[in-house]
Amino acid sequence: MNHAKATERIPSHDRAVVQTDVGPVKGNVLKGYRLFQGIPYAAAPAGELRWQSPQPVKAWTNLFDATKPGNLCPQESAIYSGVASLTEDCLNLNVTVPNSLDNKKLKPVMVWLHGGGGFNGAGSLYNARRSAVDGDVMVVTINFRLGIFSGFAYDGLQGSGTFGLQDQQAALQWVKRNAAAFGGDPNNVTLFGESIGAVSVAAHLVSPAAKGLFHRAAIQSGFPLMDVPTGTLYPNVPFLFPSLAWMTKEEGKVMGSQAATDLGCNDPKTALLCMRKLPVKALLAKSPQFTRFEFGNNVLPEDPVQALRGGRFHRVPVINGGTRDEARLFVALFFDLAGQPVTERAYPDMLKKAFGAAADKIEVEYSLDDYATPSIAWASVVTDRLWSLRTMQLNEYFAKHVPTYAYEFADRNAPAVTPFPEGFPPGAFHSSELAYQFDIADTAINFSKAQRQLAKQMNRYWANFAHSGNPNDEHSPRWKKFDTNAVIPFVLSLAPGEGGIGPVNYSDEHRLDFWRSIKADDRVAMLNILNKELVHM
């Protein structure tokens, strides 16, 4: 595809024009920053290139128009915007860099991996002007293959289940080659992401192929260690556990073969050829099933859970954390808004289905008498068991080997940019911190003065971390390293108002000692249950 959208001559000293390694691009010079959008970093993964490793984009000589967003990767409805996309020509990125090019010093680069469940979202939905200008950093937001276009696996398919991760690594290679041309330092790159984007950050931490491509990492509401007991995040869905993030080669083969059969590609000898000829729209119906990453390959040679536990990851400083009320978003969307609110009658049965013999203890610990509604009680169970317990484990794994800074976003009145049922308090829900870091899909947010101050402080911490690997400065509340030997390991609470930023007893707040006492609730037991369920599915 010819990516040159214009035939302008390149004016000298035009701050809107940058020469990349494959051709010149022209962006927008705005108040305080420059913005370049939709720059291709790899060829369109369509036709024969569908389910292939990302290939180099063809060079161009004309001036590429980078003044407007590029295509979104295939999806039925993008998070926040609701925009659909049916084009596979979507491997593009966006660069936001402060206008202060007077000094010769290159700026730290922050590369953002978006969330969206693994089957929707786009880098262009996250305007990074505040992070870039306030933090004096260059921010790169990227698109990558999603859903079945990323995670499809099939017997004999090279790269099965890792195509989205390979795209991200190709984008990091682009940053290495081109950051300096935009004023960024290719030798000081922070990789950060949220939700499935944070899982991707964890994947690159354990991927040999990503070595040297980034120098710091920030994981926001990631779930690389999460196992998902039946019905906890989604009603009546067993196939997402024991891992929400990873799948074995055997799991990938089974899922891929079933998807091919369902889509009419029945002959194993011609199934891949058949699948590559299917229209995007037909494949999208299967996208939500392919959101996990396969291991046992060149990208992820080892089970990432075991690699993280064993300290086999790149030695870079890490920020790791999440939100105080992670699961309220999922309970609101997939239970209440889906017409299946948690009821007083259903609550005990749901606990039994999810946790077996431990259900009675959990029902006492999370008594309905202590919550406004059964749905909020259920959200507390899911937050503490699925998210907080595993987030603390991940802090412990990291802190044994690298400087680790743990946090919890705790603004329980954070503006909601996604719908919640009337009367359902969102709290500090999953993804609620993002509006404090980015302008989300051009959505107007009415922050209070205290919330604006919190946003500035958060961006300051993250930018400090990008500059030096340490989020602290002399003007900010102290953020101590996570210490596994401390009686109460330091976790920084991020909330608005006086005293809102400071240490929190994370273990007490999320009842982690209680969850650690539930001996039957471990990964081995979950795997045994899963095997029984798969036999009967």
Catalytic residues: 195
Q: Is 322 strand, coil or helix?
A: strand
Which tokens sit at 147?
A: 């859903």
Residue that the structure tokens 């859970």 belong to: 305
End-to-end CA distance of the chain: 44
Which structure tokens are listed for 418? 């996604």
Rg (CA), the chain: 23
**Are the CB atoms for 374 and 347 separated by under 8 Å?**
yes
Who's near 296: CB < 8 A, 6+ residues apart? 248, 249, 302, 303
| DSSP helix/strand/coil, 418 | coil
Which of 67, 25, 58 shows the shortest CA–CA distance to 181? 25
Between strands 439-440 and 126-127, the pairing is antiparallel
β-pairing, 17-20 vs 23-26, is antiparallel
Backbone φ, ψ for residue 452 (5° rounding): -65, -40
**Which of 445, 455, 500 shows the shortest CA–CA distance to 477?**
500
Task: Give the pair of three-digit tokens for residue 416.
Answer: 């909601």
Name the nearest CA neighbour of 413 among 431, 432, 427, 429: 427
Would you state the structure tokens that stand for residue 468, as one six-digit string?
């030096």
How many C-beta neighbours within 10 Å does residue 122 have? 29
Strand 138-142 with 107-113, pairing: parallel
On whether the CB atoms of residues 311 and 400 are closer than 8 A, the answer is yes
CB 154 within 8 A of CB 250: no
Contact 328, 410 (CB under 8 A): no
Report whether 256 contacts 248 (CB < 8 A). Answer: no
| Cα dihedral across residues 334, 339, 341, 346: positive or negative | negative
Q: How far apart are CA 512 and CA 507, in angstroms?
A: 5
Beta carbons within 10 angstroms of residue 426's beta carbon:
20
Q: How do strand 404-409 and strand 318-323 relate by DSSP bridges?
A: parallel
Amino acid at site 269: K
